[in-house]
Amino acid sequence: QVQLVESGGGLVQPGGSLRLSCAASGMIFSIYTMRWYRQAPGKQRELVAGVTSGGSTSYADSVKGRFTISRDDAKNTVYLQMNSLKPEDTAVYYCNAVRGLLYWGQGTQVTVSS
């Protein structure tokens, strides 16, 4: 079955960086659009960034210029490099794969605090 496993979350000070990874299995990774979402306490889940099977990327306005999404099809992994982190980036970050069907990972917590 399809599995998406996120890693790389943690506690970081404002202005710091983290790199999230999402390792996929049980699917033909290269044909899927991969996305990162996040959900802060008391808020709706929101789309952060996406990368298509062809490598085109898109970002939420709130993270443009700070976050970079990338994929390594040889490793079946999508990454989210997060720089200049702010307290408002604190959330559980979820990996998502979509191509007709939709799959979600279990999430990884990112906390930005001094």
Confidence of residue 44 (pLDDT cuts 50, 70, 90): very high
Give the torsion sign (CA, 110, 42, 64, 4). positive
| Closest CA relative to residue 113, chosen from 94, 91, 81, 96 | 91
Distance in angstroms (rounded) separating the CA atoms of residues 18 and 27: 26
**Average pLDDT in the 54-59 region?**
97
- Note the residue count of the chain: 114
Average pLDDT, the chain: 97
At 24 the pLDDT is: 97
Stretch 5-31: mean pLDDT, rounded? 97
